[in-house]
A and B are shown apart, each in its own frame.
Chain A
Amino acid sequence: RKEVEQDPGPFNVPEGATVAFNCTYSNSASQSFFWYRQDCRKEPKLLMSVYSSGNEDGRFTAQLNRASQYISLLIRDSKLSDSATYLCVVNWDAGGTSYGKLTFGQGTILTVHP
Chain B
Amino acid sequence: EAQVTQNPRYLITVTGKKLTVTCSQNMNHEYMSWYRQDPGLGLRQIYYSMNVEVTDKGDVPEGYKVSRKEKRNFPLILESPSPNQTSLYFCASLRVGGDTQYFGPGTRLTVL
B-contacting residues of A (Cβ < 8 Å)? 8, 34, 41-46, 49, 87, 97-107
Contacts and interface: CB of A to CB of B under 8 A. Distances in A.
Contacts of B50: 99-100
A94 to B, nearest CB: 13
Contacts of B30: 99
23 contacts: A8-B40, A41-B106, A42-B105, A43-B104, A43-B106, A44-B43, A44-B101, A46-B100, A97-B96, A97-B97, A98-B94, A98-B98, A99-B94, A99-B96, A100-B50, A101-B45, A101-B59, A102-B45, A102-B101, A103-B59, A104-B35, A106-B40, A106-B42
Given A43-B106, A103-B59, A106-B40, A98 B101 contact: yes
A44 B35 CA distance: 11
B99 interface: yes
A102 to B, nearest CB: 6
Given A46-B100, A101-B45, 11 more contacts: A42-B106, A43-B106, A45-B103, A46-B101, A97-B96, A99-B31, A102-B45, A103-B45, A103-B59, A104-B35, A104-B43
Interface in B8-46: 30-31, 33, 35, 40-45
Interface of A is mostly: loop
B74 interface: no
B96 to A, nearest CB: 6
Interface of B: 30-31, 33, 35, 40-45, 48, 50, 56, 58-59, 90, 94, 96-101, 103-106
A99 B55 CA distance: 12
Nearest to A104: B43
B99 A34 contact: yes
A69 B101 CA distance: 23
